[in-house]
Amino acid sequence: MTWGKYGPKPNELLAQAAEGSPGRIIYRLTRFYPGSWLPSGLEQLVECAKPEFKLLEENSGRLDYIQTLNAWAAAARKTLANPLNWLRLAGMIRYFFTDRDFKIKIESVTKGDQQQSFIKEIMDHRRIFFEKC
């Protein structure tokens, strides 16, 4: 994963950013995955790999990853359609009281932030092939 064409700047990550904007989407995702930040792009990864590795080939799997995320979302909806599975989810209620970002995480899931980050080219899913020098 890398930032895509429209990756956010750290100062744009605001809860008050416009809904659907890169800043708002990534704000919620940083609460979902605290402490993580993506590489700026292919160039950063290639530069970090030098001098041990040489880039052989690369391409974007962004569209494929969107398909994967959509399939996972469909499977989750199917799972949630079964009332018995709601009992399993009831066990998560404790996180409402113990995880200060729980509401933001639920909002991120319900708004499809992961899918939107790839659809809107905020993030990219790179396939990168290196050869040891």
Share of the chain above pLDDT 70, in %: 97
CA distance 113 to 108: 5
3-state class of 26 per DSSP? Answer: helix
Asked whether residue 13 carries a pLDDT value surpassing 70, the answer given is: no
Nearest to 24 by CA among 120, 91, 125: 120
pTM of the complete model beyond 0.85: no
